[in-house]
Structure 1
Amino acid sequence: MALTDEAIDKIKEMIVSGALGPGDRLPKEADLAERLGLSRNSLREAVKALSIIKVLDVRQGDGTYVTSLSPDLLLESLSFVVDFHRDDTVLQFLEVRRILEPAATALAARRMTEPEVAKLQRVLDELGPAPSVEALVANDLEFHRAIAAGSGNAALCSLIDGLSGPTTRARIWRGLTQEGAVDKTREQHQAIVDAIAAGEPELARSWATVHIAGVEEWLRQAL
């Protein structure tokens, strides 16, 4: 494993130093192994590992390339990693959401266009008067994903999207057990939309904080 780690570090250094850039093709395996002082087997394992986390793209019959290295691509593996969470770590994910989502909502209030805000309102309006818990949670996920995208920050959007999965069960549980959860969620979502539409970033940040903190506080008491 140590030799593979060394190979990964050396390829990483080539990318960080600019010797290899996004979209560049790596030298042939034998040439690169000799250049880096590695065995071909160690290099092969390093390439395999880096392709899994979307740093490299192995194209059969063509070669191995550095990917675009865009934040959304590199953070794809986050959702895979957080799927291994235990139930007792859900509060930690909610704490992270409470830090990130209000910031994304404030950015969205500055950056979302009128058509984007109108689309966000339509997402909220699609929720019927008496939705099932499953429909509420699905709508909630779509709503927050649209706001994160509206922040205009691909890295922030990917982080928030990756953190959504572990908190889904908590949202369902709350919807099933807390009286008035559906109406409260709907009211807070509308307040967030109104703040974004008005171009009021700090108001939008405040409502997003209240919204996330409400789920977090409910879960603390439930546990």
Structure 2
Amino acid sequence: MSVTDDAIEAIKQMIVDGELGPGDRLPREADLAERLGLSRNSLREAVRALSLIHVLDVRRGDGTYVTSLDPSVLMDAMGFVVDFHRDDTVLQFLEARRLIEPAVTGLAAQRMSEVDIDGLGVLLGSLGEEPSVEELVANDLEFHRRIAAGAGNPVLASLVESISGRTQRARTWRGITEEGVLARTLSEHRAIQQALAARQPDVAAAVATVHIAGVEQWIRQTLVERA
């Protein structure tokens, strides 16, 4: 377990125990880090991660607060963080995605219309220079959905969409916690779009494999570290 995970777990426990509730302000950073036996850097990373999934609200010049979400919603978000590290079911979906989606991407390189391929470029460009994790994941889901639809096989498109949706929260968490993942994801998406535009099925499938395997590898390593 990483030190950031330790910090997240400690804050979660304070919410579970009722020590912190919706609207409550966290103790001062220095005091909380000392009390939990954590470095201030790891505590900051935990606060950043939890603010991105709307568990904490960082108010500049004021402090950090538990959001006003009701307790059941708060615990659902926190429960995901914990369950994600304990449940390897997501790996099974990513393995299936790695086996199926590159082949579908290769078909799309042969069958997808020029207009739809150009539309992928517009979609990627709509993110801007510094998208949020939520914006990137939503864009990611739409990007892969369009490619699957472009393969011209509704059965495969439905299968890809179903499998991809089951990995959404894991991909969000990766975006929150892994440094540089936003830029890397965009770069890989652009490479896939370029291979589609060039009508290179083998290249498109290979890039898609690398792209999906990167998520799988990160999650596998995360689960190993947690264990």
Same fold by TM (over 0.5)? yes
Q: State how 1:69-108 maps to structure 2 within 5 Å.
A: 87-108=87-108
* Corresponding residue number in structure 1 for 2:59: none
Residue deviations 1:113-146 (CA, integer Å, cap 9, x gap):
1111111111111111111100000000000000
* Corresponding residue number in structure 1 for 2:160: 160
Distance in 2 of aligned mates of 1:94 and 1:150 = 21
Structure 1 stretch 122-131 or stretch 199-208: which is displaced more?
A: 122-131
Distance in 2 of aligned mates of 1:101 and 1:87 = 23
| Partner SS, residue 182 of structure 2 | helix
Q: Offset of 1:88 from its aligned partner?
A: 2.2
> What letter matches 2:179 in structure 1?
E
Distance in 2 of aligned mates of 1:88 and 1:214 = 16
> What letter matches 2:122 in structure 1?
R
Q: Offset of 1:90 from its aligned partner?
A: 0.3
- 2:123 and 2:143 in contact (8 A); partners too: yes
- 2:104 and 2:148 in contact (8 A); partners too: yes
Distance in 2 of aligned mates of 1:123 and 1:160 = 19
Return the TM-score normalized by structure 1: 0.61
| Partner SS, residue 167 of structure 2 | helix
Residue deviations 1:45-103 (CA, integer Å, cap 9, x gap):
xxxxxxxxxxxxxxxxxxxxxxxxxxxxxxxxxxxxxxxx9932000000000011101
Count of residues in Structure 1 that have an aligned counterpart in Structure 2:
139
Distance in 1 of aligned mates of 2:205 and 2:199 = 11
> What letter matches 1:181 in structure 2?
V
- Whether 1:200 aligns to 2:200 is yes
* Corresponding residue number in structure 2 for 1:131: 131
| Partner SS, residue 140 of structure 1 | helix
* Corresponding residue number in structure 2 for 1:118: 118
Distance in 1 of aligned mates of 2:176 and 2:203 = 29
* Corresponding residue number in structure 1 for 2:24: none
Distance in 2 of aligned mates of 1:212 and 1:108 = 17
Distance in 1 of aligned mates of 2:109 and 2:165 = 25
| Percent identity for Structure 1 against Structure 2 | 60
> What letter matches 1:197 in structure 2?
A
- Whether 1:220 aligns to 2:223 is no
- Whether 1:172 aligns to 2:176 is no
- 2:192 and 2:204 in contact (8 A); partners too: yes
Q: Offset of 1:164 from its aligned partner?
A: 1.7
> What letter matches 1:97 in structure 2?
R
Residue deviations 1:151-184 (CA, integer Å, cap 9, x gap):
0010000001111222011101110011100000
Distance in 2 of aligned mates of 1:187 and 1:88 = 27
- 2:141 and 2:165 in contact (8 A); partners too: no
Distance in 1 of aligned mates of 2:99 and 2:122 = 26
Return the TM-score normalized by structure 2: 0.60
| Partner SS, residue 199 of structure 2 | coil
> What letter matches 2:114 in structure 1?
E
Unaligned runs of 5+ in 1: 1-84
- Whether 1:182 aligns to 2:182 is yes
- Whether 1:148 aligns to 2:144 is no
> What letter matches 1:113 in structure 2?
S
> What letter matches 2:151 in structure 1?
S
Distance in 2 of aligned mates of 1:165 and 1:205 = 20
> What letter matches 1:116 in structure 2?
D
Distance in 2 of aligned mates of 1:128 and 1:222 = 29
